[in-house]
Amino acid sequence: MLGIDPFETKEIEIEGVKFTLGHIIDRKMLALGLKLSPIRDKLANKEAVLADNDLLLLNDYKYEIVKYGIKGHSGFCIKEKEILFKYTTIEEFGAKRNIVSEETLEYYSANEFIDKLATEILLLNRISTEERKN
């Protein structure tokens, strides 16, 4: 059987911090992907130069991917103080979901984890062409 187990998680480590990544439901991934529609052609063209507004849109997309795709972290310390993982519960698509809190996202952003985390989450959520056929 091919496909994604929606409850599967993956552990990664970045700069000594362990992150637990999870899947983002299809409807949310589609909604987030639609936000990139205005710049999709530019992203596909390696020679294209992104304007400031394009970069803001791309950064917002990555921020949202991290907000929905991180399920926890451990070993995150600043000045010997452990930064606890905090989440917010929202209701979306008829179900309650836990997403990363704004406070925790600010720590991720300040420590330049957003790009790396977004990339790893997107790889975890990617379905191959062969899997799509089934």
Give residue 4's pLDDT: 65
Give residue 92's pLDDT: 87
**Does any domain span residue 130?**
no
Domain that holds residue 97: 9-125
pTM: 0.86
Return the higher-pLDDT residue of 125 and 103: 103
**Does any domain span residue 20?**
yes
**Does any domain span residue 71?**
yes
Mean per-residue pLDDT for 65-76? 96
Neighbours of 10 (CB within 10 A): 14
Phi and psi dihedrals of 16, rounded to 5?
A: 85, -5
**Does any domain span residue 88?**
yes
User: In this predicted model, what pLDDT tens digit does every residue of 94-117 receive, in sequence order?
Assistant: 889 899 999 999 999 999 999 999
User: In this predicted model, what pLDDT tens digit does every residue of 46-64 receive, in sequence order?
Assistant: 888 888 999 999 999 999 9
Give the list of residues 6+ apart from residue 100 with CB closer than 8 angstroms, or none: 66, 67, 68, 70, 85, 86, 87, 88, 108
Give residue 2's pLDDT: 56
How many structural domains does the chain have?
A: 1
**Does any domain span residue 2?**
no
